[in-house]
Amino acid sequence: MTSCALLETRRADTHDIPLDQRLSFWEQYNASCLVGLKCSSYSGSGLAASQSNLELDDMSIALVQGNEHVVERDSAMVRAIPKESVFVSLVQGSRSFFYQGDDCTLLAPGELVIYRTDRPYLFGFSGAMRQFIFDIPQELFGERCLRRLDGPLKVGVETRLQRLLIRTLADRTWEFFERPLNDEAGHFQDGAIELLASIIAGQAGERRVSAHGASYLLAAKRMIAEQLGDPDLDCESVAQAVGISVRHLARLFTLEGGSVSRYIRDKRLGQARRMLSSPQAVGLDISEVAYRHGYSSQAHFARSFKARYGCTPSEARKAPSCGQPECE
């Protein structure tokens, strides 16, 4: 696989569909690519909508754009087309409203709503809209973001830090949709889930990093993601690239409950595990996988990998599930 290979993007657009067939077309496409739902349009010109879908290793992403409309996933649809995911919807454009259970949530552009797809809901848009939908399996969401989600969770943009994190998530997702490189998919997925976890922690009042500190953390983590293959990548080089002291950077990572070196190690091993289980990398030697992720010694890589995942790189290649951690 070349470095410029792109992920397959599935697309649908109602503009060339006859007016009387647009709603059924939209419902069929969503049932196959996203989730089973019913759609209603309140525009005199009919539903005008488009959708792009990307499948990553552990989650999917949709970019939906359209005019005013309502989608509903009722009890019959939940039974007929079951799906056990958590959707994180980042709405942009018009104001919108979301119903699930007894809760009615009003959303302004730039806000998030997080909800389960195994329960009925209704989502309406009052005008020209755009939203990113992060489709995350419930188990993964519980491990990485929020252990228990009993009802819809709205995340507003009242604080400077929430605005920064949500804007970063939107910008990176838009950038990835414009050029969804295979080689960048793992980095993007990890970064998106990490941002979502931080956004949710802030909503729950659990974050201890200031907006200023978060901007340095974001820059540091992006630099690490881009330089994982550099064997000299360490706290000193990251701090220098970001423009803060080693002590300050270490303190920011400590506030998140970790360290720079552990973060680098976990990201390297996580990317290596995905590469080992990828069909496109079946021809690569273990030593090449180690080298691409900053390990100059295959033996060191094997020891670190086994300590992290409980199996050797060779075993993980033969049976990818043995290299799948409970929580990565």
Closest CA to 132 of 162, 102, 80, 177: 177
CATH 1.10.10.60 segments of the chain:
211-323
Cα gap 306→300, rounded to integer Å: 10
DSSP type of residue 320: G
Q: What CA–CA distances, in Å, run from 241 to 67, 203, 231, 233?
A: 43, 30, 16, 11
Quick one: pLDDT at residue 33? 95
CATH 2.60.120.10 segments of the chain:
10-156
- The CATH class of 10-156 is mainly beta
DSSP type of residue 14: S
Cα gap 12→17, rounded to integer Å: 10
pLDDT beyond 60 at 263: yes
Closest CA to 220 of 208, 203, 233: 233
CA neighbours closer than 13 Å in the CB half-sphere of residue 217: 26
Rank 73-77, 210-214, 225-229, 315-319 by mean pLDDT and report only the highest: 73-77
**pLDDT tens-place string over residues 110-122:** 999 999 999 999 9
Helix axes 211-226, 260-277, angle to 10 degrees: 40
- The CATH class of 211-323 is mainly alpha
Quick one: pLDDT at residue 328? 44
**pLDDT tens-place string over residues 265-312:** 998 998 888 888 877 677 788 889 889 899 988 899 999 999 988 898
CA 28, 34, 40, 41 dihedral sign is negative
Average pLDDT over residues 314-323: 75
Specify the pTM.
0.79
**pLDDT tens-place string over residues 45-62:** 899 999 999 999 899 999
